[in-house]
Amino acid sequence: QVQLQESGPGLVKPSQTLSLTCTVSGGSISGGGYYWTWIRQHPGKGLEWIGYIYDSGSRHYSPSLKSRVTISVDTSKNQFSLRLSSVTAADTAVYYCARAPVCANDCYPLDFWGQGTLVTVSS
């Protein structure tokens, strides 16, 4: 079955750009049919949807983060990535990658998730 694994720096300085990669195994990211999604969870808090990419190029972001977020895909590596610019301490969180089936006749929620990676924003 499909597995997702986040990777990237665990520490980012304020005002810099957070960059994370999600490697997908057990399925092709280029086959279409899924929203490849990023979610975050602030320490001890609830979950926040960041955005997704699908069809290798269509993107949709949370309005609250849209000005700072870029999600991209590298089909040759079966990976998708998150970039979040101008970070502050408020961006400290566990970042998860996940997938959800693309809506056709019906819509479905996020079904497979990575284990998450903690990113701390601190000087």
Binding region for other proteins (CB under 8 A): 45-49, 60, 62-64, 96, 98, 100, 106-111, 113-116
Q: How far is the CB of 123 from other proteins (least distance, A)?
A: 27
Nearer to other proteins, 87 or 97 (CB): 97
How open is the CA angle 4-86-81, to the nearest 5 degrees? 20
- Comparing CA positions, the residue from 108, 115, 85, 100 lying closest to residue 23 is 115
Nearer to other proteins, 15 or 115 (CB): 115
- Residue for token pair 């969180």: 93
- Alpha carbon distance 95, 114 (integer Å): 9
Number of H helices, E strands in the chain: 0, 11
Q: How far is the CB of 61 from other proteins (least distance, A)?
A: 8
Nearer to other proteins, 13 or 107 (CB): 107
Q: What is the β-pairing status of strands 11-12 and 117-121?
A: parallel
Q: How far is the CB of 18 from other proteins (least distance, A)?
A: 19
Nearer to other proteins, 87 or 114 (CB): 114
Q: How far is the CB of 35 from other proteins (least distance, A)?
A: 9
